[in-house]
Amino acid sequence: MTPTHPRYYASIAQQPMLSTRRILVVALIIGAILTTVAFRGLTLQVLDASVAEERGRNQSMFTQDIVMPRGLITDRNGTVLAVSNLAYTARINPFYEKNDPQKRYVTDTLTLSAAVARGIGQPQETVKANMDRILTSWTKETSATVSTIIAADISIQQLNVLTTQLVTVKRCCISIEEGWKRTYPQGTLAAGVLGYVNREPSGLSGVEDFYNNILRATPGQIVQRGPELLTIEQSSPGSDVTLTLDANLQRFIEQRLAKALKDYDANGGSIIVMDTRTGAILGMASLPNYDPNTALNQVTNAASARKLRNPAISDVYDPGSTMKVVTWAAAIDSGKVTTRTVFNDTGVYRTDGIPIYNSSNGRYGNVTLLEVFQHSINTVTAQVARELMGPTLFYEYARRFGYGNATGIDLGGEEKGILNSPESPRWSPIVLTTNSYGQGVSMTPIQVICAINAVANDGAYVQPHVVDHYTLPNGDVKDISTIRRYQSVSPQAARETRAALAEATRTATPEVLFKGYSVAGKTGTAEQRPNGIPMARPIHTYAGFFPASNPRITILVKLDYPRPAYAKDTALPVFKDVAERTAQIFNIPPDLVK
């Protein structure tokens, strides 16, 4: 019978996982005891008989660890994204015989390596070189630091072949250890969210890292003292974690992002889909991506580890004109302006003699907030921030919207961005004016979407999260109850800003609309790096929500260095496709019914 992970195959067969969990815990413990007996027999089979006999006479106590599986990670519908399957490790035992340094158990690595190579399907030269390295470097003094592993992650099929080969070798000294291998059945899907593990296994990034203490198993031990006394220390598998992600939506946004990178010759990008009201992340994709099944093999130094980061939470950039939504919501909330306040745009605004201009040097005359959003006017936005709000008030609101602070998303590796407020030695009045329209202030994509989401959510800022709940081995379900929520602006200020943004979207960028739904969104263009150096090609963002009259879904699309000049030609079409598919998957009611 082939050993398998019972919970994994139960879910594949769409059997109820929770109802079988209590039985499985008991079965796994009993199975571990039985496996210990089988394991012990297997080890003695492949050891030299005379050595085993001598060791058996001298051994009065036998100890065996019980290693239980790490918890499952599934999407919101039960699709398995991470699972631990049985795997085996082969070790060579380079012990000295009777403390004589001239006599080792292993004397013929040529014959032994041939048997092992046939069993695990690796080149004999590779196996022999590994054996020789171990035997050369292993001494009693270095035994604690020299690994004796000659093959890891051996499947049950390979194990059957390997043991058959080993029994033909007279003096082999190979022991087999049973363990669990972490695998990701969906390949690269949601890799940045899931993260990956080391061989221990412990999480190194993503959910695997953040929820490591919940996912990891509690090890146990069987201790045999003499022929009759048997002690079993309790063990248990890890808890199962259920994400807020939808695997179908996740697959779609990854494919749509890949198409966008190809169509627009972009270097990379991110898409985030969020439940407006709860902050639950329904989809989070970034490219380039990686396969968590092989991620550990790719990590050789800090630079290679950085390639396995999640850019949606770790890469900072200037959000561009998406920041105008926050600036105007803050100005309305503070009573400095209304949606009907009229400003005269001359096409230029000066701060300490330094001029700033609108895109394409536009000049729009008398304007209100609606025209500011329609034409993405820099000058009037800067005037409002500097002359009407001032630095103290502006940066107070910026922090309320999460600028300069990590969102607290439940993923390892989040950066907090850069906000040079008046307390910073790098700050000057021109920094305030450019910050107001999203230049010189650096944020991660998750920070940008959370700020926009607060306007969509009647001014309520909600902490983003990717885990919905986890299930203990005994079947008890624990909800994630630490989600932060607070008002960044009043509901009225948020609604007024939202209405102006929706009307500007309808009139200025109607191509983003899809049948039955109103949309409110804003383009953003980052023209310089966080260090202030101009970029040859900009970063494009489109962030928005739908239905605009009663927001349910908030979406951000970010494309790194695409060739077309404007975000409305690159990020906006991607937003529309993602919004339309999200509405279908989650059955979002339309708000424009004729």
Residue 126 lies in a domain: yes
Give yes or no: residues 160 and 276 share one domain: no
What percent of the chain stands above pLDDT 70? 81
- Give the mean pLDDT of 365-387: 98
Give yes or no: residues 408 and 467 share one domain: yes
pLDDT given at position 291 = 95
Query: Residue 565: which pLDDT band, with cuts at 50, 70 and 90?
Result: confident
Q: Over 90: is that where the pLDDT of 235 sits?
A: no
Query: Residue 475: which pLDDT band, with cuts at 50, 70 and 90?
Result: very high
Residue 92 lies in a domain: yes
Give yes or no: residues 427 and 484 share one domain: yes
Give yes or no: residues 472 and 580 share one domain: yes
pLDDT given at position 31 = 46
Mean pLDDT is lowest, of 216-220, 471-475, 492-496, 574-578, for: 216-220
Give yes or no: residues 169 and 255 share one domain: no
pLDDT digits (tens, 9 = 90+) for 421-457: 898 888 999 999 999 999 999 999 999 999 999 999 9
Q: How far apart are CA 212 and CA 195, in angstroms?
A: 11
Residues 413, 419, 423, 424, CA torsion sign = positive
Instruction: Tell me which of 567 and 233 has the higher pLDDT.
Output: 567
DSSP 71: P
Q: Over 80: is that where the pLDDT of 358 sits?
A: yes
Mean pLDDT is lowest, of 1-5, 49-53, 212-216, 266-270, for: 1-5
Domain with 117, as residue range(s), is 6-66+88-178+221-243
Give yes or no: residues 298 and 252 share one domain: yes
Give yes or no: residues 239 and 264 share one domain: no
pLDDT given at position 221 = 76
Q: Over 90: is that where the pLDDT of 547 sits?
A: yes
Residue 389 lies in a domain: yes
pLDDT given at position 302 = 66
Give yes or no: residues 437 and 477 share one domain: yes
Alpha-carbon distances, residue 344 vs 366, 430, 433, 440 (angstroms): 4, 20, 17, 25
Alpha-carbon distances, residue 402 vs 311, 385, 454, 487, 498 (angstroms): 18, 17, 10, 11, 18
Residue 19 lies in a domain: yes
- CATH code at position 523: 3.40.710.10
Give yes or no: residues 225 and 307 share one domain: no
Instruction: Tell me which of 139 and 77 has the higher pLDDT.
Output: 77
What percent of the chain stands above pLDDT 90? 62
- Give the mean pLDDT of 348-370: 95
Query: Residue 284: which pLDDT band, with cuts at 50, 70 and 90?
Result: very high
Last residue of a domain, one of 213, 243, 273: 243
Instruction: Tell me which of 229 and 87 has the higher pLDDT.
Output: 87
Give yes or no: residues 441 and 476 share one domain: yes
Residue 532 lies in a domain: yes
pLDDT given at position 48 = 42
Residue 227 lies in a domain: yes
Q: Over 90: is that where the pLDDT of 210 sits?
A: yes
Give yes or no: residues 341 and 231 share one domain: no
Nearest Cα neighbor of 541 from 258, 348, 322 is 322
Query: Residue 92: which pLDDT band, with cuts at 50, 70 and 90?
Result: confident
Helices (H), ranges, 228-366? 247-263, 295-298, 302-306, 311-314, 323-333
Residue 539 lies in a domain: yes
Give yes or no: residues 272 and 134 share one domain: no
pLDDT digits (tens, 9 = 90+) for 398-420: 999 999 999 999 998 999 999 98
pLDDT given at position 527 = 77
How many domains does the chain contain in total?
A: 2
